[in-house]
Amino acid sequence: MTGFSDVYCHVCRRAHPREDMRLVISNGRKKWRCIHSLQKAAKATLAEREAFGRQVTEMNKAESRAKLNGMMANRALPPLE
């Protein structure tokens, strides 16, 4: 269970205690990353980092499509004439 001091890691998509997190600047925006994700990224090769980026992009696209499909399913369609 997450507490009030927990912070969401945008890389691993989980909440961690604040003391296990670091605030980083990425593309001009501040984001929280867990120490584990930073250590893992430092050890990864360029190909591994690119593969991870593609995987996260696909997960984000799938999540967006699912939300959009849910919104469209709940939307009333006008009657056909």
Q: Does residue 49 sit in the same domain as residue 38?
A: no
Q: Which domain holds residue 51?
A: 45-74
Domain tally, the chain = 2
Structure tokens at 45: 């090769």
Mode of pairing for the β-strands spanning 6-9 and 14-17: antiparallel
Structure tokens at 53: 């980026």
Q: pLDDT per position in the chain (81 positions), as tens? A: 555 689 999 888 889 999 999 999 988 999 999 999 899 888 889 998 899 889 989 988 999 998 888 777 777 666 666
On whether residue 28 sits in a domain, the answer given is: yes
CA distances from 10 to 34, 39, 42, 45, 56 (A): 9, 15, 17, 20, 10
- Computed over its alpha carbons, how large is the radius of gyration of the chain? 18
d(CA 23, CA 68): 31
On whether residue 79 sits in a domain, the answer given is: no
The answer to whether the predicted template modeling score (pTM) of the entire model surpasses 0.75 is no
